[in-house]
Amino acid sequence: MTLGPNVIVFDPSMSTAQIQATVDAVADQQMLNQFGTQRYALLFKPGTYGSVAQPLNFQVGFYTEVAGLGLNPDDVTINGSIDVYNQGDGSGALDNFWRSLANLHLAVTGPGGNHSTNGCYANTEFWAVSQASPVRRVDITGHTTFMDYCTGPNYASGGFVADSSFGSDTPVNGSQQQFYVRNSAMGGWSNGVWNQVFSGDLGAPAQSFGTKKADGSNADPYTTLATTPVSKEKPYLYLDADGHYRVFVPSAQTNSRGTTWQSGQTPGRSLPLSSFFVAQPGDSTSKINSALARGKNLLLTPGVYHTDRAIDVKRADTVVLGLGLATIEPDAGNIGMTTADVPGIDVAGLIFDAGVKKSSALLQVGDQRHHRDGHGSLHTSRSANPTALQDVFFRVGGAHVGRVETGLVVNADHTILDDIWSWRADHAQNASDVGWTVNTADNGVVINGDDVTATGLFAEHYQKYNVLWNGQRGETIFFQNELPYDAPNQALWSHQGEPGYPAYKVADSVRSHVAYGLGSYIYTNVNPSLHSANGFEVPDTPGVVMHDILTISLNQAGTIDHVINGVGAAVTPTYQGPSNITFYSNGTSN
């Protein structure tokens, strides 16, 4: 079965030189292709690639997925490095988005390809990225850095690692402003800038957010949870012993710690590729929906899928998996994808890109009419079989004009949001494709369902709420936000008599909500005098508890008056911050 021309499959019988030439050609095309339409998946069959004498060192550009095709990470070994370096345009790694590394063993060795003129890149895995560039299910032996310390500036802003092992190595976190590591293993962690969150990790640093060292200096801003309360790893493509493609769907876990694969086979179910409709760019929405209605799962091969109606996922336990960051773009003001209010759906590895005609949402999970029995127990049976979104990203503007009311709407109870970036673009291929009245979008993420858990939630630049949480018993572990850059005046960016909007709003009707490790930053470069009254707003009730939250003012533009609910020092053009609150509940803070 063909997976399309942009899925490139490597076999260990191929020479290192042949593989090197192929991956370098893709990298050369994609390295600066931030807003292009090309998408690639580079997949490695089980076996060993490269050697100490002839390592395989290559870079990963935009819209490129690199993954092994083994059932377990150690079924594929690459001797070399799979790198992301600074852009070279003065932005450092701040714009290194939309790429991924997964399901392989990386034995780090070699000179670092074409970028080792001074030897700095030798024998080191560089993954200098910001949002939407996850590392999942990877076994790295050797040294890893999440910043490019060889060339300046060393900016980096937001990484995500899950179900991975760094062995005894202590990765260099470096200039990463914020970072989230979940259910992984490491020898330690090097440092932190503003917000570093760990849950369910072996070898994670101790909790230290907002504390002082013995010498009186600030401790690293670490938020550490011993376990992850609920998680569901991303489905992945693999080859079975007979050389047939299958998709493995990991089971949900509760109160988990460590990787799913180091102590035995990852729990879950395996699906033959014959149970999937393998879509190609150009397939109509009607054709895709017809396959889904017949009971098929959906595999979207690399490319951009233009839709004139919602892709409609109705069946419980359906898997929707994108390869090579496949992208769904609504053309007719439609929602990009909807799911029924049923359990066990997985939607993974996709970008939703807003179209020129305004949509009400890009992805809607669960029915608009949300049922409860008054006690929140109507759907408790779903807790063992939650719906999950893994590595799902939303973009409004940037590649072209885009308009939407809300990026992601979650109506379904017991939904897991695992590595979500909802981004209203602050820059574009053409400057005319972004602006306050151009790429319009009210809200980044709106959560109406109960018992929704977010593990790695990024939402930026929306014109009203970046996150609005209406459901009961929600939980967030790690949140990163920048408020909109481009509001022209305070009158247009105000609500209910207050300046600005909070980045993260828990609705007044909510009685139970908990969050750990949340940051909101302001940079109003169009009008540096703008204020937001609070970075966070929550109801003052004992069941709503916020841990380790902060605000920052960037580049001498914009003010956040308080961290949360009128509490916490202001961050201003003359005081960047951070302003930290380690605990807030029911009007009490510290």
What band does 151 get if pLDDT is binned at 50, 70 and 90?
confident
Tokens for 574? 């003359």
Please state, in angstroms and rounded to a whole number, the distance separating the CA atoms of residues 522 and 340: 36
Cβ atoms of residues 119 and 133 within 8 Å: no
Between CA 54 and CA 66, with CA 60 as vertex, the angle to 5 degrees is 85
> Is the pTM above the cut of 0.75?
yes
Closest CA to 41 of 299, 288, 251, 243: 299
Beta strand segments in 283-336, E = 297-300, 304-307, 311-313, 319-330
What band does 378 get if pLDDT is binned at 50, 70 and 90?
very low
Q: What is the arithmetic mean of pLDDT over 476-498?
A: 97
At 49-93, the pLDDT tens digits run 999 999 999 999 999 999 999 999 999 999 999 999 998 788 899
pLDDT higher than threshold 80 for residue 563: yes
How does DSSP assign 223-241, residue by residue? Answer: EEESSEEEEEPPPEEEE-T
* Amino acid code (one letter) for 466: N
Strands 504-506 and 64-68: unpaired
At 425-467, the pLDDT tens digits run 999 989 999 999 999 999 999 999 999 999 999 999 999 999 9
pLDDT attached to residue 368: 73
Point out the residues that are catalytic. 482
Residue whose entry in the numeric block shows the structure tokens 């976190």: 173
425-428 long-range contacts (CB < 8 A, ≥24 apart) are 425/395, 425/396, 425/397, 425/398, 425/461, 426/460, 426/461, 426/482, 426/485, 426/486, 427/95, 427/398, 428/35, 428/397, 428/398, 428/399
Share of the chain above pLDDT 70, in %: 96
pLDDT higher than threshold 90 for residue 119: no
At 192-208, the pLDDT tens digits run 899 999 999 999 999 99
Query: Phi first, then psi: what are they for 18, rounded to 5°?
Result: -65, -45
pLDDT attached to residue 88: 77
The H or E element that residue 9 is part of is: strand 7-10
pLDDT attached to residue 382: 78
Closest CA to 375 of 511, 469, 475, 507: 511
Closest CA to 451 of 522, 372, 563: 372
pLDDT attached to residue 376: 44
Between CA 10 and CA 16, with CA 11 as vertex, the angle to 5 degrees is 80
Cβ atoms of residues 473 and 435 within 8 Å: no
pLDDT attached to residue 371: 47
